[in-house]
Amino acid sequence: MKLFCRVLVILAAVFLSMTGCAKEKKVTNGAGDRTSGAITVYTALEDELVTEYLGIFNRRYPNIKVNIVRESTGIITARLLAEKDNPRADLVWGTAASSMIVLDNLGLLEPYAPEGIGRILAEFKSDKSVPTWVGIDAWETAFVVNTVELAKLGLNVAEIKSYNDLLRPQLRQHIVMSNPNSSGTGFLTVAGVLQLNGKNSEGGWNYLTRLHENISQYVHSGSRPAKMAAAGECVIGISFGYAGISEKKKGAPVEIVFPVEGSGWDMEANALIKKDVIIPVSYTFLDWAISDEAMELYKKNYPIIATGGDGNYDGYEIDPVKQLINNDFAWVSGNRDTILNRWITLFDGKSAAR
């Protein structure tokens, strides 16, 4: 009798569990309360920007709790891939479009057209009839040069114009770059160099091998090389435009150099994660994340925004749009693993001979 009762209890529990699962169906666009709830958002946006942007969002939507998981692009991408069978994130905000394409090709993104999608330029969103990812802004390779430290090496900033200028023997062990496996900036820089040298040819890898001789370390953040250059911890940080401009505005003795050959670049993009249950406030967040209010916030730090600019690029002495190379996102995303694996084999954990 005791065994029979235990079996009944177990069966009842299983039945209730199945009943609960049956009720837990995917929420369709527009269904449910979009003004209150909690979501988990994965982002590669800089910490200070997340704080600034969320402060604005929270004032507008005080009943929506946003749980942020912030990591660099490579780590966010790896985490989403590792969690593909049991996704933890509800959406991704401000992570490289090249990563979004990888996730999209694996069927991990849920199509959604945020409110105002018609304002977004075609090249800043997926080419699906209902977009699976939407870009918000773009960032590009730049050299952040500490002019004081450079002078100690007998060089001036006018002599640093191109990628080849980074190979000068005086700069041996004086350059810091971000690791492309963990940093979106590192990856867009490597992908840009490869494209400028014939994509699948050996020219790009030969250049990176020579550059490696002048690299003192590879760091796990795209902005970190700019900060290190500003602090005099290296002479040149291979970073991105906004990071260097921000340090210069703070008074650091740095100049921002955009290579004459053109800059590798990527977009920060948002996407809805494909899940059995989509929390309604996810749509609210994605709508806000491409709103005019949000775009004005992005533009303060990344002047190339997905709705198009008005030609005013604070802190830039050039038009950054004209600086961007013709980026083949399909090639970059399709070769991501190959590029990263080869980079690991050649450079990861290895110091150039002193």
pLDDT digits (tens, 9 = 90+) for 293-350: 999 999 888 888 999 876 567 788 888 888 999 999 999 999 999 999 999 999 987 6
58: in domain: yes
Asked if residue 220 is part of any domain, the answer here is yes
Distance between start and end Cα atoms, the chain: 79
Between 190 and 320, whose confidence is greater?
190
133 with 223, same domain: the answer is no
Residues of the chain with pLDDT > 90, as a percent, come to: 79
Within this chain, do residues 65 and 123 fall inside the same structural domain, yes or no?
Answer: yes
Q: What does the pLDDT average to over 226-252?
A: 96
Residue 312 included in any domain: no
Same domain? 91 vs 180: no
* Residue 114 counted as domain residue: yes
Is 230 in the same domain as 152? yes
Q: Supply the range of the domain harboring residue 148.
A: 140-265+319-347
Would you say residue 185 lies in a domain?
A: yes
Confidence of residue 353 (pLDDT cuts 50, 70, 90): very low
pTM listed for this prediction: 0.81
In this structure, are 195 and 329 located in the same domain?
yes
Say if residue 183 is in the same domain as residue 169: yes
- Pair 231, 195 in one domain: yes
Residue 42 inside a domain? The answer is yes
Q: How many domains does the chain have?
A: 2
* In-domain check, residue 313: no
Task: Examine the domain organization and report whether 66 and 130 are in the same domain.
Answer: yes
In a shared domain, residues 154 and 256: yes
**Least confident residue range of 9-18, 131-140, 191-200, 333-342:** 9-18
108 and 256 together in one domain:
no
Both 251 and 220 in one domain: the answer is yes
| CATH code of 119's domain | 3.40.190.10
Other CB atoms within 10 A of residue 17 CB:
10
Q: Is residue 239 assigned to a domain?
A: yes
Same-domain status, 156 and 280 = no
